[in-house]
Amino acid sequence: MTRFDFIIVGSGAAGLSAALHAAKHGRVAVVTKRGALDSNSNWAQGGIACVTSDEDSIEKHVQDTLIAGAGLCREDAVRTIVSEGPARIAELVDWGVHFDQRESPEGHLEFDLTKEGGHSKRRVLHAADATGREISEKLLAAVRAEPAITLLENHFAIDLITTAKLGFVSEDRVLGLHVLREDDGSVVTLRSDRVILATGGCGRVYLYTTNPRVATGDGVAMAWRAGASVANMEFIQFHPTCLYHPQKRSFLITEAMRGEGARLIGKDGREFMQDYDPRGSLAPRDIVARAIDHEIKRTGGPCVYLDISHKPADFITSHFPNIHKACLEVGIDITRDPIPVVPAAHYQCGGVVTDVNGATRVRGLCAVGEVGCTGLHGANRLASNSLLECLVISRRAVDHLVRKLPPGRESLQDHPVPDWQSGDAVDNDELVVIYHNWDEIRRLMWDYVSIVRTGKRLQRAAARLRNLKREVQEFYWNFRITSELLELRNLVDTASLIVECALRRHESRGLHYTLDFPDKDDTRPPQDTVLRRY
């Protein structure tokens, strides 16, 4: 057993920034199941939304966020996160992050801000079209230079250890976690009274997604099994523009491209977004994704197209160098050709229920970033608010844990925590079954629980997931664990939570659209869909 003052699960922007803050107060372990840069944050293209211009204001950013959230945002959380954003941007700059700049009319350098769907002002800071990579690399460099931080790559967090799981009737609190070491297949016990989940989202629950391979809903599933509440998992954001090409199935085309004038057109070359929303191609993502889905079904085409070729070639290549390069690799020159695009699962707006400090109902357990549900996003996330939330809530979570559970003063410091027991489990020689179940979950979620839903489709998904869950549990208890089995277990748990939340919402709001209830329920105040295990 190894003891730490803080354990952070995940190495995206939320996890790495939390580690840097926590290192001021004690020893920190950062647990990540693959390499440190295998995260959703590292894949983020567009940027980070923050008020940094005199032409903008906190109030405008708050109102844009509330409008996008379709009545389900918690306004106090929105105001806190938006207001604290500028200080977190300054921290990033101190850590070495470089955002694109330009010369102002007065002759001094200022941030080169762009605009994305749902924003009333230019407020998105970016580093070309690889903002997430710039932030992740600079944060990781700072983490590696900090002696108080132990980075545990290729360590898969299996489950949280809590007093409730151990059978104690006192206040439920976290005690640490069990972790699978990928190099030798052993399971180690990490002990801490302060655990921060920063595991990102669950895009890999779906067949088509912009997310990396690691996004399998691990944090939501672990927190749920540990007794934390989960809310609003029905609100899965489908990014409208994922490259449609067999060689690059998960390549995102940033919304910033539409902010710079790219137009969505059908296979006939006609712009169609004005038919769906007066804001055209800059409407919020839920509207654009549904419009594209409808156009594809209406025309019978496999995709629609995003066209920025009317802009100067040097403008395109300087603003979107990585997209230009990636598209050239598959024979598409975006300076001359429209880009074939389709919607794909992108971001979970629900998650583990937390307050504005990232604190869950399990004492000592926080969830930050995409895995948490602070109330910032409501029923639909405003573009580029995600990285902002990562930075603000990670700082607040560390401060909260230090206040509530000062390091070195734990009342349960010597509480006995059992080591992992494998029992009679044997090696699994039927990996093909695991891979089959993985594919089945992703396909049924895409077919039954994607952009447009019905009650019948959701019931079918729920029934099949119940059977899959029994099969996965049998694998889990009878065979030695592997990363493939753990991801499958988390996928089926997370998919089941999405379906359960969707079945409980009898209206269409934000990212949840059902043909059975195509309108918002205006007969009562908007309600979160909250699930409690016990």
How far, in Å, CA of 330 to CA of 263, rounded?
21
**Long-range CB contact pairs, 457-461, < 8 A, 24+:** 458/499, 458/502, 458/503, 458/514, 459/503, 461/495, 461/499
Would you say the C-alpha torsion 34, 370, 13, 2 has a positive or negative sign? Answer: negative
Pairing of strands 28-31, 149-152: parallel
Pairing of strands 339-348, 304-307: antiparallel
| DSSP secondary structure letter of residue 382 | P
Query: Comparing C-alpha atoms, which of 224, 250, 229, 237 is closest to residue 494?
Result: 224
294, burial (CB in 10 Å: exposed 0-12, middle 13-18, buried 19+): middle
How far, in Å, CA of 430 to CA of 148, rounded?
42
204, burial (CB in 10 Å: exposed 0-12, middle 13-18, buried 19+): buried
For the annotated catalytic residues, the residue numbers are: 285
- Give the 3-state secondary structure of residue 97: coil
